Amino acid sequence: MASDKIPAIDDAAFQAAISSDIPCLVDFWAPWCGPCKAIGPVIEDLAEEFKGKVTILKMNVDDNPVTPGKFGIRAIPTLILFKSGEVVDQITGAVGKKQLVDLINKAL
């Protein structure tokens, strides 16, 4: 679920959003996904912690099937870190905050 801290993105806006020099972390999720809900508060904390350094976005895979298909996403939550339109790294599953911080630091 998108929130005040983390905007939602759709297939149409995706390429423009990840093409920035500012790293972009995209959370691929769905409303019915328990682990997606569990990791949500951690993602919101990261949005605050890395504000101005990293863009964090959420993509609902049910509403936007094209982009997840392009990246071969078969399980959610999947978080993919992009920089200048290229994949830096990705994590699948509800992981801890430290793993996500380490992921983000790869692009800073």
Catalytic residue among 6, 36, 73, 79: 36
**Rg of the chain, C-alpha, whole Å:** 12
The structure tokens listed for 70 are 């392009």
Whether the Cβ atoms of residue 25 and residue 39 lie closer than 8 Å to each other: no
> How many whole angstroms separate alpha carbon 77 and alpha carbon 82?
16
Find the catalytic residue in 26, 33, 79, 80: 33
Catalytic site includes residue 36: yes
Q: Virtual CA dihedral for 83, 19, 6, 87, nearest 10 degrees?
A: -40
Residues known to be catalytic = 33, 36
